Structure 1
Amino acid sequence: MDLGVVAGEASGDLLGAHFIAALKQRHPGLRAAGIAGPRMVEAGVEAVYPSDKLAVNGYVEVLRHLPELLWIRSRITRYFLRERPRVFVGIDAPDFNFTLEAKLKQAGIPTVHFVSPSIWAWRPERIHRIRQAVSHMLVVFPFEAQIYRDAGIPVTYVGHPLADVIPLQPDTAAARMTLGLAAGPVIALLPGSRLSEVTRHARLMLDAAVRIRQRHPDAQFVLPAANAAAARLVRQAMQGLDLPLRVLDGQSHTALAACDVALVASGTATLEAALFKKPMVITYRVPALTAYLMRKKALLPWIGLPNILARDFVVPERVQEAATPENLANDALAWLDDAPRREAVIETFRAMHLSLRQDASARIAKALEPYLERA
């Protein structure tokens, strides 16, 4: 095997698919296998297990799925130790991947980790574990590289693959035509890709949408569902509501291109919204125990990637108790009613986009080249 890989969820699957495609151009016969989602499978990765098996987050949720996660990690570890890939790439999923990477590295298999965990936001002590597990770290944000240099860990800043594929100037009119949307404000609702996130955020966002429509009767709403199960949860949450809502089969980028404002669950989707230059309201809810434990370890006042990159609250964040339909609706309406503020944040996001646009897939492929050339 040339390349072993583990991607933990939909965002990791998307990130992995881009650099796998770039590697295939350089190495058409490349054999890659591991834990992968549909996009990576389409790019040519053999899926030993599907990546959605790892799509759990938070202390409480992980504990609930722990036996299955430990079983999968044990099996995939034995698989890679038997197949001995030239290099292993762990994509995100740090709690799963670092233990796996440490065992592979100890067995002489080089380990590359793509997408640093947010040690700059919370749990900075993880740098010691990373040093034991990772041969080379690939980071997507420019400020992360110095953290790893200071820790003596080989590191390459590659930029963010999404910044390469999302256009600098999104075509809003074309996206609205594709979705068959009429004139009037368009609000995108992105409750998250995990089913647990959809369960926590869908009704919250739908109730906010009802309040937005009271002020803007011509408002339309689009909600890209990550999969069929997520779409079912959304339709259940819609019961009893009268809303002009389009539940889309995926198409998150089309939804973001089409919208005026987005309500977004914290995660990679907030960065995607910023790259599409869309004013947004970031929200998130987790079980109370998870929130308590995470707050005790937090190092930054922000949770959303656009705010972290800007080092400022350029968009509002509504988390836990503040995540109410009233707050989300009021924040969205404030964006719709303030054109100069919208233009200012669009310029902030354009500068952010340029700083992250580094041809990441080519940089990743170049960083992996020395390992793939090993005898």
Structure 2
Amino acid sequence: MVAGETSGDLLAGLLLDGVHARMPDVQAAGIGGPQMAARGFDAWWHSEKLAVHGYSWELVRRLREILSIRKQLRQRLLVEKPAVFVGVDAPDFNLGLERDLRAAGIKTVHFVCPSIWAWRANRIDKIRAAADHVLCLFPFEPALLQQHGIEATYVGHPLAAVIPMEPDKAAARARLGLALDRKVLALLPGSRSAEVQYIAKPFFAAAALVRAQMPEVQVVVPVVPQHWQRMQQAVREAGVQEWVQLVQGQSHDVLAACDCTLIASGTATLEAALFKRPMVISYRMHPISWRLMRRKQLQPWVGLPNILCSDFVVPELLQDAATPEALAAASLDWLQAYDQQPSKIAELQARFSALHHTLFRDTSALAADAIQKLMCR
């Protein structure tokens, strides 16, 4: 198995639950993170090695190391010939590897259909060459893949089973030490190094503007362990250390506890939607990376909640539009709506509840069943 970065590690960990339930003696190894390790996964490399932000400078700086890891992994797998290879997301790394392994007779599964419906539609040929089977998180994806001769199974989104239909805000606030009678703004600038670099600073500046308008607002930031010191430094440099609360991990508690989240585009936005929380989606990256990605965008939306609802149900402020002033204004709109426009909050929560029911499946079991059938051919 190969899982890239935090979200892939989470998905792979849940997948391993289903695999071990069906096939207790299966051994899993490759590239993974702490969630996989907790299920007995043998990580030859840590998933953080594959966490690259956009194109251009970030990728160029680390390309040699990443290519070296893929070469070493390919050589080892071609010798050991596992019963099946599962690439979890990280398509730029996994699809080429899967293609080579499949050509050598090793069965391959790609878990998470690349977003060919959002951007980079030309990836369909790579997927066809790489994967014996694709496990899809969203219900419309299998039919799209099957049109191109690619076997696929809708397994639901595992986060829909992990996150409760009715999150307990009071309990989450108690665990985090947050007051029950004050609004909470959660900042989630992302888990990659470059996201901390490009996104954290405008998020902190926006939070300061929100606090100027609503001094009682509590601001909390979940931080992955490997970025703890860096985020502490960013908080000090922004001059917000007196009132920003950093917590290690606990992103689900933070989302359950908050009234609104200012959040980087990515899987975390879907988590926020499943927690039924209003959000402002944002993203910033190196300007060259932004221009390259923008040209390949196929839909008007970037955030997963908006894509899945086919509507701008929450605001998106990207790149140059992601100024502290704009981010603060959009966040204040949600925070003030609880008192001034409660129907606006209720309508959003209803749409997110419907989305939750659509994505809720026994993902671990369905994915493990598809993998077992492929292994038994």
Which band: TM-score by shorter chain? Answer: over 0.9
Partner of residue 370, structure 2:
367
The question of 1:35 aligning with 2:31 is answered: yes
1:127 equivalent in alignment to 2:124: yes
Aligned with 2:13 (options 5, 13, 17)? 17
Equivalent in the alignment of 2:85: 88
TM-score where L is the length of structure 1: 0.97
* Alignment-derived partner of residue 146 in structure 1: 143
Kept in 1: contact 2:4–2:50 (CA 8 A): yes
- Cα deviation for residue 372 of structure 1 reads 3.5
Match of 2:264 in 1: 265
CA distance in 2, matches of 1:135, 1:76: 19
- What SS does the corresponding residue of 1:43 show, helix, strand or coil? coil
Report the secondary structure of 1:177's partner residue.
Answer: helix
- Separation of aligned partners in 2, 1:244 and 1:362: 43
Q: 2 CA distance for matches of 1:300 and 1:371?
A: 33
- Residues 13-64 of structure 1, C-alpha deviation per residue, up to 9 Å, x if partnerless? 0000011012111222111111011110111111111111001131112122
Shift of the alpha carbon at 1:243?
4.3
Q: Is the 8 A contact 1:210 1:243 kept in 2?
A: no
SS in 1 for 2:220: strand
The answer to whether the 8 Å contact 1:86/1:371 transfers is: no
2:241 is the alignment partner of 1:238: no
In 1: Cα distance, 2:184 partner to 2:118 partner:
32
1:68-127 deviations in Å (ceiling 9; x for gaps): 011000000011111111111000000000110000000000110000111111110110
In structure 2, list runs of 5 or more residues that go unmatched.
none
Indicate the SS of the match to 1:238.
helix
Secondary structure of 2:277's match? coil
Contact 1:90-1:97 at 8 Å conserved across structures: yes
Stretches of structure 1 lacking an aligned partner (at least 5 in a row) = none
2:198 aligned partner: 200
Opposite residue 46 of structure 2, the aligned amino acid is P
Structure 2 equivalent of residue 343 of structure 1: 346
Is the contact made by 1:114 and 1:137 (CA closer than 8 Å) also made in structure 2? Answer: yes
Measured in 2, the distance between the counterparts of 1:371 and 1:302 equals: 35
Match of 1:218 in 2: 216
Alpha-carbon separation, structure 1, partners of 2:281 and 2:344:
17
Deviation at 1:241, TM superposition (A): 2.6
Q: In the aligned structure 1, how far is the partner of 2:326 from the partner of 2:191? A: 22
Label 1:316 to 1:75 Cα distance change in 2 as closer, same or farther (>3 A).
same
Cα pair 1:116 1:139 within 8 Å, conserved: yes
Query: Aligned equivalents of 1:367 and 1:27: distance in 2?
Result: 13
CA drift at 1:242: 5.3
Q: Report the 3-state secondary structure (helix = DSSP H, G, I; strand = E; otherwise coil) of the residue aligned with 2:197.
A: helix
Find the residue that maps to 2:167 and give its secondary structure.
Answer: coil
C-alpha distance in 2 between matches for 1:252 and 1:238:
18
Query: Is 1:160–2:157 an aligned residue pair?
Result: yes
- Which digits, 9 at most, give the CA deviation of each residue in 1:229-285, with x for residues without a partner? 422222212222354221011000000000000010000000000000000000000
Pick the aligned partner of 2:167 from 167, 170, 181: 170
CA contact (8 A) 1:261 1:335 kept: yes
**CA distance in structure 2 between the partners assigned to 1:243 and 1:143 by the alignment:** 46
Give 1:336 deviation, angstroms.
1.4
SS at match of 2:332: helix
Answer yes or no: is the 8 Å Cα contact 1:199–1:233 preserved in 2: no
Q: Which residue of 1 aligns with 2:250?
A: 251
What is residue 309 of structure 1 aligned with on the other side?
308
Residue 350 of structure 1 and its aligned partner are, at CA, apart by: 0.3
Give 1:191 deviation, angstroms.
Answer: 0.5
Corresponding residue pairs, total: 369
Instruction: For 1:235, give the aligned amino acid.
Output: Q
Deviations 1:151-186 (A, max 9, x none): 010010100000011000000000001111112000
Match for residue 6 of structure 1?
Answer: 2
| Distance in 2, Cα, partners of 1:57 & 1:40 | 22
Paired AA for residue 347 in structure 1: A
CA distance in 2, matches of 1:351, 1:202: 31
Q: Aligned to 1:86, what secondary structure does the other structure show?
A: coil
TM-score (norm 2): 0.96
User: Deviation per CA, 1:281-335, whole angstroms, max 9, x where unpaired?
Assistant: 0000011111111111111111100000000100000100001111111001101
Q: CA RMSD in A?
A: 1.0
CA contact (8 A) 2:107 2:375 kept: no
- Kindly provide the amino acid, as one letter, of the partner of residue 185 in structure 1: K
